Structure 1
Amino acid sequence: MTAIDLITKEDLKQLENKLLNAIEAIRHPAGGGQSKQWLKSQEVRKLLNISPGALQNLRINGTLRYTKIGGILYYKLEDINKLLEGGLQ
């Protein structure tokens, strides 16, 4: 005879937490991992400490390049660093 293992809701909750933690570790590696290459508008505004309107002005006048994918604007971290160092050309 073989033993029957019952899976409880608590077991499933623990599995869910482990999976979510593993996914988060892949998305945001800790210590020495690669930083993100592309940032969303909210992340850029927080990094530069600017308003949504100021970010829009940077886009409109061509100071900061962006890519739009499915309605979401993405900015290269490299371009933001160049802007902080003295401007994009």
Structure 2
Amino acid sequence: MSYTIAAEIRTEIGKGSSRRLRHANKVPAVIYGAGKEPISIKFDHKDIINIQENADFYSSDLTITVDGKDVKVRVQAMQRHAFKGLIEHIDFKFA
């Protein structure tokens, strides 16, 4: 199955800005690898929470639309809140 997620570039980076994003129901993320510059992004929590329940979300290529460009990625790591079940951060790797 193919998944497409709309994302925005993050201009503020750091612990404080990530906390502000989480309070606004956004998920901070980063795309890295393949000798390319890392891209810091953010997207709505509701966009990712339901599709991440499928097993193929972790093993198949995803498409992230960043500023009108499609980027093929794979999930590298995901951090969740200890007991709330919320996603706190996702690392993607260029596919």
The structure that has the greater radius of gyration is 1
The structure whose residues are more often strand, as a share, is 2
Is TM (by shorter chain) over 0.5?
no
Query: TM-score with structure 1 length normalisation?
Result: 0.25
Higher RCO (CA 8 Å, separation ≥ 6 residues): 2
